[in-house]
Chains A and B, each alone.
Chain A
Amino acid sequence: MMDTKNLLEQLLWGGGYLLLAPLAGGLLAGFDRILTARMQSRKGPPVLQPFYDVFKLLEKRGTVVNGFQNFYMICFLIFVMLTGVLFFSGGDLLLTIFALTVAGVFLVLGAYSTNSPYSTIGAERELLQMMAYEPMLLIVAIGMYLVTCSFQVRDIITFSAPIVYSLPAVFIGFIFILTIKFRKSPFDLSSSHHGHQEIVKGISTEFSGPTLALFEIAHWYENILLLGFVYLFFAAFGPVVAVVSSIVAYIIEIFIDNAYARLTWRFTVRASWTVAATFGVVNILVIALLK
């Protein structure tokens, strides 16, 4: 049943996401950089630094390696935005995950299209990472379906009991793959905002100027979307607790980033599948059996 009020609400949420997510995502990134600096006993940049960076990049003249690259990056951004709109307007969770995967594929294509050895390796690793986190994302969706009997975000978000109670292990598994999605140590294989590693900046090596800015903005959209997933786990506690929980999850990710060395991709894939298999599957089986 879908009346006009509902539709309006959905449009509002979707539009709100489009407008506010980059703001929130950028602020979050600024907060991330300050907290990281403080953990390293440094003062760190201003909160608005990520915005300065992006505006600066937009001012630069990009040396585009080829036209396809820009095209793929724009597709990546559009698909990430689309994914977010789908999610925040209360759409289908499976579809969201699917759209996110498509976005990821565009990013990989963008990196492949440059023919630089670093970005090729970065792209290969990005693919491996997708292989690593995809199963867990699906398990999250399935788990939520088992609990709420719906794949629709608007149903999940209004579900009466906190989902985290039913899916604690799935939540831990999700936090685990968040380190991959946020591109944080120990799993920041394909790209790293710290830029100190064997493949220079990996997947973003050949992007420069405005193209790199698009990459950053897409990343902000993506981060807010991912925190939206965290929100779902705590939705029933009310918006305040849920938002705070999402932020706490983000802080935990920053802490982990600073407490671990980067690990190799072999280990990443193995570890994330093990986590998905043990935590995720066991949790789901328990739910299914109790039903």
Chain B
Amino acid sequence: MSFLKKSPWILHYDGSSCNGCDIEVLACLTPLYDIERFGIINTGNPKHADVFLITGSVNEQNIPIIKRLYEQMPDPKVVVAVGICATSGGIFQECYNVKGGIDKVIPVDVYVPGCAARPEAIIDGVVQGLGVLEKKYAALKNKPSKTAA
């Protein structure tokens, strides 16, 4: 049994979104939804984070930043793509400057649909992400030799 599930800390990054999904992510922290109930803290610091919440369709300039943040997060970690922009590029998929989806840049573990993704959906998405996190932790423990160095 691991404690990851009880204390997932999230890092939120806006990868060229319209703000819609970001304010919904923030709304999750506020009294009405209060995800601290699940032990979730919005850390703002990749080195403390377990869950990477990304919104937006990812433009060229964001690619290196998202990659860097992802690399800075210690293992195990999961990525949750929040909103249609993040899952597929949404209304902006035809724009010349966007990648159209987080999964084109880093591996995504859970997709949360919605434009904007509702706080309820974000909570569901994070909860699903925790399941994945648990599996990754187990996998990591089973072969410690690779990452221990």
Is there direct touching of A and B in the complex, by C-beta distance under 8 Å? yes
Residues of chain A touching chain B, judged by Cβ–Cβ distance below 8 Å, are: 33, 37, 40-46, 49, 52-53, 55-56, 59-63, 195-196, 200-201, 205-209, 212
Give chain A's interface secondary structure class: loop
Q: In this assembly, does B42 line the interface, its C-beta being within 8 Å of a C-beta of chain A?
A: yes
Residues of chain B contacted by A61 (CB below 8 angstroms): 74-75, 140, 147
CB pair B147–A195 under 8 Å, yes or no, is: no
Residues of chain B touching chain A, judged by Cβ–Cβ distance below 8 Å, are: 2-4, 6-7, 30-31, 34, 36-39, 41-45, 47-48, 50, 72, 74-76, 137, 140, 147
CB pair A56–B74 under 8 Å, yes or no, is: no
Q: A41-B31, A59-B2, A62-B74 are in contact. Are A201 and B36 (CB under 8 A)?
A: no
Min CB distance B61 to A, Å, is: 21
CA of A49 to CA of B137 in the docked complex: distance in angstroms?
20
CA of A255 to CA of B41 in the docked complex: distance in angstroms?
21
CA of A44 to CA of B3 in the docked complex: distance in angstroms?
18
CB pair B43–A49 under 8 Å, yes or no, is: no
Residues of chain B contacted by A206 (CB below 8 angstroms): 47
Closest to B141 in A: A59
CA of A61 to CA of B137 in the docked complex: distance in angstroms?
10
Min CB distance A180 to B, Å, is: 22
CB pair B34–A37 under 8 Å, yes or no, is: yes
Closest to A209 in B: B74
CB pair B44–A196 under 8 Å, yes or no, is: yes
CB pair A44–B34 under 8 Å, yes or no, is: yes
CB pair B34–A56 under 8 Å, yes or no, is: no
| Among candidates B3, B34, B72, residue contacting A63 with C-beta atoms closer than 8 Å | B72
CB pair A195–B44 under 8 Å, yes or no, is: yes
| Among candidates A45, A52, A196, A209, residue contacting B3 with C-beta atoms closer than 8 Å | A52
CA of A56 to CA of B1 in the docked complex: distance in angstroms?
11
CA of A200 to CA of B44 in the docked complex: distance in angstroms?
7
CA of A256 to CA of B2 in the docked complex: distance in angstroms?
35
| Among candidates A53, A200, A201, residue contacting B7 with C-beta atoms closer than 8 Å | A53
Q: Give the top 8 A-B pairs by smallest Cβ distance, nearest first.
A: A208-B47, A52-B6, A55-B3, A42-B34, A56-B7, A56-B3, A52-B7, A41-B31
Min CB distance B13 to A, Å, is: 13
Min CB distance A149 to B, Å, is: 48
Closest to A206 in B: B47
Min CB distance A123 to B, Å, is: 16
Min CB distance A147 to B, Å, is: 43
Choose among B4, B36, B38 the residue with the greatest number of A CB atoms under 10 Å from its CB. B36
CB pair B34–A201 under 8 Å, yes or no, is: no
Having A44-B34, A52-B6, A59-B137, one finds 4 other A-B pairs with CB under 8 Å, namely A42-B34, A56-B2, A201-B45, A205-B47
